[in-house]
């Protein structure tokens, strides 16, 4: 069992190592474009406005292109780690469909995606499906074309059917259910609502649960309720900020690659890009996700109780100029970031001690 878990972690880390440059490149270019657009006074009630800023729009588009490839690369190289080159095609297709599930629903909805969790699942399924096909005995004349023709077609068809017919509809339904739940909670306990919003924002970092909370907050802006988006805005940035801070505070706990990812995550957190936490969560979801969820919940509750209102559908320090109760907003972000960093380093340190103790006992 332990050996199987180590193998699974190796597959996840392989996917993460290839996806990190896409996340860092896309996130930092997007952050730069949004940050400069805000600096030049182009933040509107509907978000950054790049009208009249063609150079910044070009930077944004390049960043979005890099970011849009991230889930495909993550899934593709997880599958590659499991089954070699034949796993790349179904892995990439599964990752792409994870990011664009909404385009293939009976009623297309671009807001619907499976996020990074869907991409991880797609990569694992693609890899193991390919491994299963490899074990099927075939005639020696067919064997040479198996890895370049038969395996990619069969495995891609299988992963496509799973993503579009098995995973897609339930995710869309859950997103609608989550939105309905948030609407029913609005007007009730503000602390409970803030806890739920914070957890939803952090748990899948840009996936369907995150989007359900985010779009609920954005819808409330149109109704003149800015506190929902204020809670979301504080929660959005604390996962990457907290993980970035964790790698800075206790550097010896982290590898060089993780420290580099931490620096990129911190930069993305400043601009409100939750996806900066994905490399850490994809590599070690069991330990990372609870830590970032806790930090985002703390930030969301403080923001909600502090009366923070966000007039723009975005998060992080970048929207500070359009936020009500700025001091409470800053305190919420700082508290959530510190809680995430402390929790992560405690868990990381404890797990390392446990591994060392186990190795010494062998």
| pLDDT tens by residue, 43-102 | 665 566 777 888 888 998 998 899 889 999 999 999 999 999 999 999 999 999 998 888
Classify strands 309-310 and 47-48 as parallel, antiparallel or unpaired: unpaired
The pLDDT of residue 36: 80
Exposed (0-12), middle (13-18) or buried (19+): which is 187, by Cβ within 10 Å? exposed
The DSSP symbol for 82 reads: H
Average confidence (pLDDT) over 298-326:
89
Strand, coil or helix: 204: coil
Distance CA 33, CA 37 (A): 6
For residue 312, give both structure tokens. 């723009």
Element (H, E) at 116: helix 115-134
How many other C-beta atoms can be found within 10 angstroms of the C-beta atom of residue 180?
A: 12
The pLDDT of residue 185 is above 90? no
The pLDDT of residue 355 is above 60? no
Cα–Cα distances in angstroms (integers) from residue 186 to residues 4, 172, 189, 196, 320, in the given order: 44, 21, 8, 11, 24
- 16-49 residue pLDDT tens: 889 888 887 887 788 788 778 766 666 665 566 7
Instruction: Tell me the whole-structure pTM to 2 decimals.
Output: 0.80
Please report the DSSP string for 287-316 in residue order: HHHHHHHHHHHHHHHHHHHTT-EESSS--S
- Contact status, residue 74 vs residue 15, Cβ threshold 8 Å: yes
Distance CA 72, CA 55 (A): 27
Mean residue pLDDT across the chain? 87
Instruction: Give the pLDDT band of residue 352 (cuts 50, 70, 90).
Output: low
Share of the chain above pLDDT 70, in %: 93
Average confidence (pLDDT) over 244-264:
91
The DSSP symbol for 109 reads: -
Instruction: Give the pLDDT band of residue 354 (cuts 50, 70, 90).
Output: low
The DSSP symbol for 51 reads: T
Average confidence (pLDDT) over 281-307:
94
Average confidence (pLDDT) over 304-318:
87
The pLDDT of residue 78: 95
Distance CA 339, CA 90 (A): 39
């Amino acid at each position: 069992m332990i050996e199987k878990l180590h193998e699974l972690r190796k597959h996840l880390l392989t996917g993460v190592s290839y996806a990190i440059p896409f996340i860092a490149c896309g996130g930092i270019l997007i952050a730069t474009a949004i940050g400069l657009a805000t600096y030049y006074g182009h933040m509107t009630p509907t978000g950054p406005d790049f009208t009249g800023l063609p150079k910044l729009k070009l930077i944004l588009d390049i960043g979005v292109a890099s970011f849009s490839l991230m889930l495909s690369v993550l899934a593709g190289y997880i599958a590659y780690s499991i089954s070699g080159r034949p796993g790349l095609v179904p892995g990439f297709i599964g990752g792409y469909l994870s990011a664009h599930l909404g385009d293939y629903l009976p009623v297309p909805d671009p807001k619907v995606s499976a996020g990074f969790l869907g991409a991880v699942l797609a990569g694992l399924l693609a890899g193991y499906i390919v491994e299963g096909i490899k074990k099927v005995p075939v005639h020696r004349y067919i064997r040479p074309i198996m890895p370049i023709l038969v395996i990619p077609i069969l495995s891609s068809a299988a992963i496509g059917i799973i993503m579009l017919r098995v995973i897609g509809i339930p995710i869309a339904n859950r997103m609608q259910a989550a939105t309905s739940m948030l609407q029913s909670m609005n007007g009730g306990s503000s602390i409970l609502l803030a806890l739920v919003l914070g957890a939803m924002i952090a748990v899948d970092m840009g996936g369907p649960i995150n989007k359900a909370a985010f779009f609920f907050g954005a819808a409330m802006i149109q109704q003149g309720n800015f506190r929902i988006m204020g809670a979301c805005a504080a929660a959005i940035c604390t996962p990457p900020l907290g993980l970035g801070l964790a790698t800075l505070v206790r550097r010896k706990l982290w590898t060089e690659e993780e420290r580099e990812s931490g620096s990129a995550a911190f930069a993305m957190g400043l601009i409100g890009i939750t996806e900066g936490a994905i490399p850490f969560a994809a590599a070690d979801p069991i330990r990372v996700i609870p830590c970032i969820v806790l930090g985002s919940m703390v930030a969301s509750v403080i923001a909600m109780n502090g009366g923070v209102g966000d007039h723009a559908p975005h998060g992080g320090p970048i929207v500070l100029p359009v936020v009500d109760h700025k001091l409470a907003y800053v305190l919420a972000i700082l508290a959530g970031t510190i809680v995430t960093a402390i929790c992560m380093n405690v868990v990381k340190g404890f797990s390392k001690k446990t591994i060392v103790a186990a190795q010494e006992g062998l």
